[in-house]
Amino acid sequence: MTISKSIFVKRPVAATFEHFTADIGRWWPLKEGFSRGGERANEIILEGRVGGRFFERYTDGEESVIGRVTAFEPPARVVFTWRQATWNADTEVEVRFAGEGDGTRVTLEHRGWEALAEAARKSHDSYVRGWETILARFAA
């Protein structure tokens, strides 16, 4: 399961990468609901280095980390993790930038939903074993 998106931006690759990463707080639709903090969300920041944080800062100064940068390769590629507060595993977002005509093709993949599911399975092993016990008794 992967969410895949692609968009053409009529700007050079280097500028497009720069705007996507360093300027993320200037275009991210934080107030339109694509945020963790909702009304409280004031800023979104992507630190431009491997290990950097991807996080929201709320109006009261509190910070909420969404993920970490795992690859930072200007102007071609950035990868960061994405975890909701209640999830028990990371998903991953990869954004690629490639020259196309007089602009840049931006492709985005949000993947790793299986890891989320796998973590859920592990935490429910006892549940599965419980079922096995019940079925074994039923058979006897």
Partner 1 sequence: MARTAQRLARLDRTLLALADPTRRRLIERVGRGPVRATDLSRGLPMSRPAVAKHLRVLQGAGLVTAVPQGREVLYQRAENSSAIDEARAYLERMSSGWDQALAAFKRFAEAQEGE
CB atoms within 10 A of CB 60: 8
Minimal distance, residue 7 CB to partner 1, in Å: 5
Give me the phi and psi of 134, to 5 degrees please. Answer: -60, -45
For position 65 contacting partner 1 by CB under 8 A, the verdict is no
Pick the closer one to partner 1 by CB: 27 or 39.
27
For partner 1, which residue of 16, 46, 54, 80 counts as binding (CB under 8 A)? 16
**Cβ-contact 58, 2 below 8 angstroms:** no
Pick the closer one to partner 1 by CB: 60 or 102.
102
Minimal distance, residue 120 CB to partner 1, in Å: 3
Sign of the Cα pseudo-torsion (37, 6, 1, 17, in order)? negative
In order of 8, 31, 40, 44, 127, the CA distances from 60 in angstroms are: 36, 16, 8, 14, 41
| SS3 of residue 129 by DSSP | helix
Question: Please, which of residues 89-128 interact with partner 1 by CB under 8 A?
Answer: 106, 108, 110, 113-114, 116-121, 123-124, 127-128
- Please report, as ranges, the residues that interact with partner 1 according to CB under 8 A: 1, 3, 5, 7-11, 15-16, 19-20, 23, 26-29, 32-34, 84, 86-88, 106, 108, 110, 113-114, 116-121, 123-124, 127-128, 131-132
